Amino acid sequence: MTSPKSHAARILGLRIHVLCYAVLNVVQVLVWWFFTPEQHFWPIWSLVAWGLGLAFHVWAVTRPVRA
């Protein structure tokens, strides 16, 4: 089954997802670094969980389309 979205729209959605992932996780790491560096590295949970979702998004956009 193919989506009615164009390939360009899917690529744009993926780029937005990657940008949000990068910016927001950098902010979390900076908050951890400046305010709680002696504690457990808590941003790892969102890095891993959101990273898995991002990996599936990349896979969905870049996989070969079946005819």
SS (H, E, C) 15-59: HHHHHHHHHHHHHHHHHHHHHCCCCCCCCHHHHHHHHHHHHHHHH
Q: Is residue 12 part of a domain?
A: yes
Report the number of distinct structural domains present in the chain. 1
The mean pLDDT of the chain is: 91
pLDDT at 12: 95
26 falls within a domain = yes
Domain that includes residue 50, residue range = 8-62
Residue 37 lies in a domain: yes
Q: Is residue 3 part of a domain?
A: no
Q: How far apart are the first and last CA of the chain?
A: 8
For the segment 56-62, the average pLDDT, to the nearest whole number, is 94
Supply the pLDDT for residue 3. 61
Query: Is 18 among the domain residues?
Result: yes
- Output the CA torsion 7→11→14→19 (10° steps): -160
The pLDDT of residue 6 is: 86
pTM of the model: 0.84
Read off the pLDDT of each residue in 9-25 and give the average, rounded to a whole number.
96
